[in-house]
Amino acid sequence: MYRFLFSPRWLGWLALVAVLAMACSALGMWQLDRRDQLADTIERIEANYDQPAVPYEAGSADFRSFDPAEEWLPVELTGTYDTANQLVVRNRPFSGRPGYEVLVPLRLADGSAVIINRGWLPIGNDEAGRPDAFPQPPDGEVTVTARIKPGEPQLDRGAPDGQIASINLARYSEVVDYDVQDGSYGLMSAESPAPATSPQIFPRPSLDAGPHLSYSMQWFAFGGLLFVGFGYAARQQQRSDDEDAAEANGTVSAAPARRQRRPTAEEEEDAYLDARGF
Instruction: Report how far residue 107's alpha carbon sits from residue 19's, in angstroms, rounded to the nearest whole number.
Output: 56
In a domain? residue 149:
yes
Q: What is the largest CA-CA distance in the chain?
A: 118
Quick one: 63 and 176 in the same domain? yes
Query: What is the per-residue pLDDT for 143?
Result: 96
CATH number at residue 184: 2.40.50
- Most confident of the following: 118-127, 224-233, 244-253: 224-233
Whether 151 maps to a domain, the answer reads: yes
User: Mean pLDDT across the stretch 11-21?
Assistant: 93
Nearest to 179 by CA among 107, 116, 118: 107
Do 141 and 234 lie in one domain? The reply is no
Q: What's the gap between Cα 166 and its chain centre? A: 18
Q: Residue 135's pLDDT is what?
A: 87
Parent domain of 9: 3-41+211-239
Q: What percent of the chain has pLDDT over 70?
A: 89
pLDDT, position 16: 94
pLDDT at 222: 93
Nearest to 81 by CA among 168, 146, 171: 146
Instruction: Tell me the one-letter amino acid at 252.
Output: V
**Taking residues 203-225, what's their average pLDDT?**
90
Same domain, 161 and 231: no
pLDDT band at 274 (very low <50, low <70, confident <90, very high): low
Task: Count other Cβ atoms within 10 Å, centred on residue 102.
Answer: 24
Q: How far apart are CA 25 and CA 138, in angstroms?
A: 54
Q: Half-sphere exposure (CA, 13 Å, Cβ side) for 68?
A: 5
Average pLDDT over residues 209-216: 88
261 within a domain of the structure (yes/no): no
Residue 123 lies in a domain: yes
pLDDT confidence bin for 239, thresholds 50/70/90: confident
Q: Which of 192, 224, 258 is the last residue of a domain?
A: 192
Give me the pLDDT at residue 269, please: 65
With CA atoms as reference, report the closest residue to 56 among 120, 3, 131, 106. 106
The string of pLDDT tens digits covering residues 135-157 is: 889 889 999 999 999 999 888 77
Which position has the higher pLDDT, 210 or 25?
A: 25
- Give pLDDT, residue 254: 47
- My answer on whether 60 and 173 are in the same domain is yes
Tell me, yes or no, whether 87 and 187 share the same domain: yes
Q: Give pLDDT tens digits for 165-193.
A: 899 998 888 888 899 999 999 999 999 99
Q: 105 with 162, same domain?
A: yes
Q: Are 188 and 73 contained in the same domain?
A: yes
- State the pLDDT at residue 247: 79
pLDDT of residue 158: 72
Q: How many CB atoms within 10 Å of residue 40? A: 13
In a domain, 234, yes or no: yes
pLDDT at 210: 83
Is 206 inside any structural domain? no
Same domain, 117 and 67: yes
Q: What is the mean pLDDT of residues 195-216?
A: 88
Whether 168 and 230 share a structural domain:
no
The domain tally of the chain equals 2
How far from chain centre, in Å, is Cα 142? 36
- Which whole number is the average pLDDT over 33-54? 90
Mind listing the pLDDT tens digit for each residue in 240-273? 878 877 877 776 554 554 556 677 766 666 666 6
Do residues 173 and 115 both lie within one domain?
yes
Which of 158, 192, 226 is the endpoint of a domain? 192
Backbone phi, then psi, for 40, in 5-degree steps?
Answer: -65, -40
Q: For residue 209, give the nearest of 61, 1, 7, 31 by alpha carbon.
A: 31
Query: Same domain, yes or no, for 229 and 159?
Result: no
Residue 255 lies in a domain: no
- Whether residue 88 sits in one domain with residue 153: yes
Q: Which of 271, 207, 235, 256 is nearest to 47 (CA)?
A: 207
Note whether residue 251 is domain-resident. no
Question: What are φ and ψ of residue 184, in 5° steps?
Answer: -160, 170
